[in-house]
Amino acid sequence: MAFEKPIQELEEQLREFEELSDRNNLDASAEIAALRARIEESIDAAYADLSPWDRVNVARHPERPVASDYIAGAMDDFFELHGDRSFGDDRAIVTGFAQVEDQRFLLVGHRKGRTMKERLACNFGCAHPEGYRKALRKMQLAARMGLPIVSLINTPGAYPGIGAEERGQAGAIAENILGMFSLEVPILAIVIGEGGSGGALGIGVGDRVLMMEYSYYSVISPEGCAAILWKDGERTPDAASALRLTAPDLMELGVVDGVIKEPSGGAHRDRQRAIDSMRRVLLEELKLLKEIPKAELLKRRRAKYRHLAAVPGRFPESGAATP
């Protein structure tokens, strides 16, 4: 990322200094400590003033934790469930029974993959209709078993290919959105990277919707927005600003309910600390949601989305002030 280049230069200097110190058996601990302090200061300064487009690039960083990392690093137990019992098993959606400490739940997430081979197999997290149908079937199973649902969102959008459209991509997403409103168990949705369009909403209806600090959540990608509005890819940073897609913006708009703090310099710099932060918040949120009676849970969920981002005065029943 362009804004990280000065940091990378300092880190390269640090590596060279450490190698030189080891090779020549020199005591350079003071100099190394000073250089590390400069790196930390540079990271804090760079990340204190990120533009929306910078945040999008952080959310897409190839070293950022993905669903498989959270499963391996945060879950004490996980048993994957496959298939939609109709067409096939879409690898872009992972579902399974999970446990963290004493909390058991169904995990649903977009799977991007870590290696290039895995990413190609998962369509870079862009799910097909069978992926959304798989997710809904497993969520309905969880509801019958009385298990909460945790959704990890990380997709640039649903897969836009001809085959996906022929198999009912839009209908599958719509059925998921509608179906999730009727599930009588708590639903916790967390945007861990990219939250793109209907592809994210297909598993994103939640009683609580949280975002990792440097993730983004948007009706369309900045590139798609720039292409439609201005027919100019150079305007992508402008589109990112106009979309209000960052965690601070969405908190201000009331679209999300909370932000999970990431390590200094983003989750890609310290994956395990980011995973530990998510695990801690997940436990806290599930315990609170499980205390809410079913009828009240459904009522709140429907009201939350019915009045999402309502303009004050337009919907008095939402509790917004009327002029």
Question: What's the CATH code of the domain at 177?
Answer: 3.90.226.10
Question: What's the confidence (pLDDT) of residue 48?
Answer: 83
Q: Are residues 143 and 120 in the same domain?
A: yes
Residue at 300 is within a domain:
yes
Q: What is the mean pLDDT of residues 183-197?
A: 95
Percent of the chain clearing pLDDT 90 (strictly above):
67
Q: What is the mean pLDDT of residues 292-297?
A: 94
Residue at 312 is within a domain:
no
Q: Are residues 6 and 68 in the same domain?
A: no
Q: Are residues 32 and 73 in the same domain?
A: no
Q: Do the Cβ atoms of 76 and 163 come closer than 8 Å?
A: no
- The type of residue at 269 is R
Question: Residues near 100 by Cβ (< 8 Å), separated by ≥ 6?
Answer: 74, 75, 76, 279, 282, 283
Residue at 317 is within a domain:
no
List of E strands, the chain = 77-81, 93-100, 103-110, 149-155, 187-196, 208-212, 216-218, 258-260
What are the b/e assignments for 282-296, b being 16+ CB within 10 Å?
Answer: beebbeebeeeeeee
Residue 109 pLDDT > 70, yes or no? Answer: yes
Q: What is the mean pLDDT of residues 24-45?
A: 76
Confidence of residue 322 (pLDDT cuts 50, 70, 90): very low
Residue 316 pLDDT > 60, yes or no? Answer: no
What's the pLDDT tens digit per position in 129-163?
999 999 999 999 999 999 999 999 999 999 989 99
Residue 181 pLDDT > 70, yes or no? Answer: yes
Q: Are residues 133 and 238 in the same domain?
A: yes
Q: Which two tokens stand for residue 195?
A: 């939250």
Q: What is the mean pLDDT of residues 61-89?
A: 93
Q: Are residues 145 and 116 in the same domain?
A: yes
Question: What's the confidence (pLDDT) of residue 158?
Answer: 92
Instruction: For the chain, give the mean pLDDT.
Output: 89
Residue at 203 is within a domain:
yes
Domain count for the chain, please give it.
Answer: 2
Residue among 142, 162, 160 at smallest CA distance from 151: 142
Q: Are residues 128 and 169 in the same domain?
A: yes
Q: Are residues 154 and 18 in the same domain?
A: no
Residue at 313 is within a domain:
no
- How many residues are given for the chain? 323
Percent of the chain clearing pLDDT 70 (strictly above):
94
Residue at 24 is within a domain:
yes
What's the pLDDT tens digit per position in 255-270?
999 999 999 889 998 9
Residue 278 pLDDT > 90, yes or no? Answer: yes
Q: Are residues 41 and 140 in the same domain?
A: no
What is the C-alpha to C-alpha distance for residues 94 and 92, in angstroms, rounded to an integer?
A: 7
Question: What's the confidence (pLDDT) of residue 28?
Answer: 67
- pTM of this structure: 0.87
Question: What's the confidence (pLDDT) of residue 318?
Answer: 43
Confidence of residue 320 (pLDDT cuts 50, 70, 90): very low
Q: Are residues 110 and 25 in the same domain?
A: no
What is the C-alpha to C-alpha distance for residues 304 and 121, in angstroms, rounded to an integer?
A: 36
Q: Do the Cβ atoms of 85 and 276 come closer than 8 Å?
A: no
Q: Are residues 40 and 65 in the same domain?
A: no
Q: Are residues 121 and 176 in the same domain?
A: yes
Identify which has the larger pLDDT, 86 or 258: 258
Q: Are residues 19 and 81 in the same domain?
A: no
Domain range for 27: 2-49
Q: Which of 44-53, 77-86, 149-158, 272-281 has the lowest average pLDDT?
A: 44-53
Residue 103 pLDDT > 60, yes or no? Answer: yes
Q: What is the mean pLDDT of residues 238-252?
A: 94
Question: What's the confidence (pLDDT) of residue 211?
Answer: 97
